């Protein structure tokens, strides 16, 4: 049985993330979406809220589970018996950082490998920070995130 981990901040989850989740869930028996608690970053949504939002929009995918984690990704992966870490690549700008992370993680734990999925071109520009920026001014985020999550994001900015 192959278990994959798709880690990230997901603050909030976007259609780009969801595309990676849909595609990678078909490549493994079980896909764990690992929501990073990132204590130092002051996220818009708490880890619990981010987990709930992701659960809401992935409930139709049978082999997906959503959990938050703290600490090193490879330790989380090891504790879950995961074989692969899945990351999305949007552009060359993502590449250098992602390669360094993948190599570091492999150095720390050679049992876990990283695979990269090229983003769907439709979502190549999209990031959670774009969603936050546009939403903070009350702009239209309907092309960026699942429709059922829009009100939760606007509510954070009182718009």
Question: CA–CA separation, 130 vs 132, rounded Å?
Answer: 5
Place of tokens 């939403």: 135
43 makes contact with ligand ADP (CB under 6 A)? no
Size of the residue set binding ligand ADP (CB under 6 A): 16
67, 127, 150, 154: residue in contact with ligand ADP (rule CB under 6 A)? 127
Active site residue 90: yes
Per DSSP, helices labelled H in 37-158 are 47-58, 73-79, 92-108, 128-136, 150-156
3-state SS, residue 117 = strand
116 with 88: CB under 8 angstroms?
yes
Q: Which of 25, 50, 128, 132 is catalytic?
A: 128
Q: What is the DSSP letter of 95?
A: H
94, 113, 115, 136: residue in contact with ligand ADP (rule CB under 6 A)? 94
Active site residue 143: no
Active site residue 37: no
87 makes contact with ligand ADP (CB under 6 A)? yes
88 makes contact with ligand ADP (CB under 6 A)? yes
49 makes contact with ligand ADP (CB under 6 A)? no
Cis omega (within 30 of 0) for bond into 76: no
| Contacts to ligand ADP by CB under 6 A | 8-10, 14, 16-17, 20, 87-88, 90, 94, 119, 123, 126-128
């Amino acid at each position: 049985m192959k278990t994959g981990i798709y880690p990230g901040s997901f603050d909030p989850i976007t259609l780009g993330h969801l595309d990676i989740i849909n595609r990678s869930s078909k490549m493994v028996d079980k896909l764990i979406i690992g929501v990073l608690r990132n204590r130092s970053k002051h996220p818009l949504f708490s880890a619990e809220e981010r987990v709930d939002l992701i659960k809401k929009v992935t409930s139709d995918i049978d082999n997906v589970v959503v959990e938050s984690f703290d600490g090193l990704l490879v330790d989380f992966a090891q504790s879950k018996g995961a074989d692969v870490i899945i990351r999305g690549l949007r552009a060359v700008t993502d590449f250098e950082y992602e390669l360094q992370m993948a190599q570091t993680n492999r150095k720390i734990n050679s049992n876990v490998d990283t695979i990269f999925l090229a983003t769907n071109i439709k979502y190549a520009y999209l990031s959670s920070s774009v969603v936050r920026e546009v939403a903070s001014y009350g702009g239209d985020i309907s092309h960026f995130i699942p429709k059922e999550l829009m009100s939760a994001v606007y509510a954070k900015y009182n718009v």
